[in-house]
Amino acid sequence: MITVENLTKRYGDHVAVNDVSFVCKPGLVTGFLGPNGAGKSTTMRIMVGLTPPTSGSVRIGDRPYREIPNPATQVGVLLDASAQHAGRTGAEILRLTAMTLGVPSSRVDEMFDLVSLTPDEANRRVRNYSLGMRQRLGIANALIGDPHILILDEPANGLDPAGIHWMRSLLRDYANRGGTVLLSSHLLHEIEIIADEILVVGQGRIVAEGTKEELLAGSGTRVRSLDDDALARALSVAGIAAQPVAEGGFTADAAPEDIGRIALRQQIPLVELRVGDGAQLEEMFLQLTQQTQRESVPTFRDATVLQGAQS
């Protein structure tokens, strides 16, 4: 278990982490979401003793990370896949980690098998690795001590779709066996698929937390019928706001059972009726963090601006 209590980190007048508290439980994957500069990485660095907090505390199990004997056998950490010695081979890096932790050398080959790096790739210099290969090596390094807690910052960065699916399966199995996983990512869809609980942070504060079901409970319903025009009229008469969806149907601000009753009364055959997800997670994320976003939707008042950009 990871317990964060009233954690604050200041750099002069800038507050990077502002009175943050949460718990990551065994057997669950906790997704840590937030825009760039929201405080995710700083929080993770404090967790593993790389950055001292201004105030507050983090306990890994029942003690701070720095007080854990041989901590990598208890906590696997991946904060930056690129921060590996580029002149060493992947095999050399894992062998050094195994020696440092005092684990059997056989764990090295086991880890390469686990993360699907071939013997040829294991013997390449890390400078010749793709970012996806570095991520796999970093995950192997985090797991080699057989820890019961994982703290991973953007582990899917650089992985192709097959690699993301592999990582998702790996972490799901790890949690199912009782492990604790804290996973930071900007890939909202991946968090929606894998995470059991979600933390959303903005400007150093937790702005939302809970299970996916709790956070998406107000995200409405996805509904599609054989007569969307009739369905739109019926929803409007019932006072239910509905937004058309490009592939057909609507996202409606009502519970699925309420929409189902309306369709039944109007004898409108439905082909899809479910709680909204995916796009709704992105919408929820943007709404909760809108005050912390750097980006705004660009507008062009003069068409000549676009013409100049295209020429």
Helix (H, G, I), strand (E, B) or coil at 73: helix
What pLDDT does residue 143 have? 93
**What does the alpha-carbon distance between residue 60 and residue 1 come to, in Å, rounded to a whole number?**
6
pTM above 0.95, yes or no: no
Torsion sign, CA atoms 214, 219, 220, 226: negative
Residues of the chain with pLDDT under 70: 216-219, 276-311
What pLDDT does residue 311 have? 46
What pLDDT does residue 217 have? 62
CA end-to-end distance (rounded Å), the chain: 57
What pLDDT does residue 306 have? 45
**What does the alpha-carbon distance between residue 129 and residue 124 come to, in Å, rounded to a whole number?**
8
CA atoms within 13 Å, Cβ hemisphere of 168: 17
**What does the alpha-carbon distance between residue 121 and residue 139 come to, in Å, rounded to a whole number?**
15
What pLDDT does residue 245 have? 79
**What does the alpha-carbon distance between residue 49 and residue 72 come to, in Å, rounded to a whole number?**
12
What pLDDT does residue 292 have? 54
Contact of 259 with 240, CB cutoff 8 Å: yes
| Beta-carbon contacts of residue 71 (< 8 Å; ≥ 6 apart) | 48, 60, 65
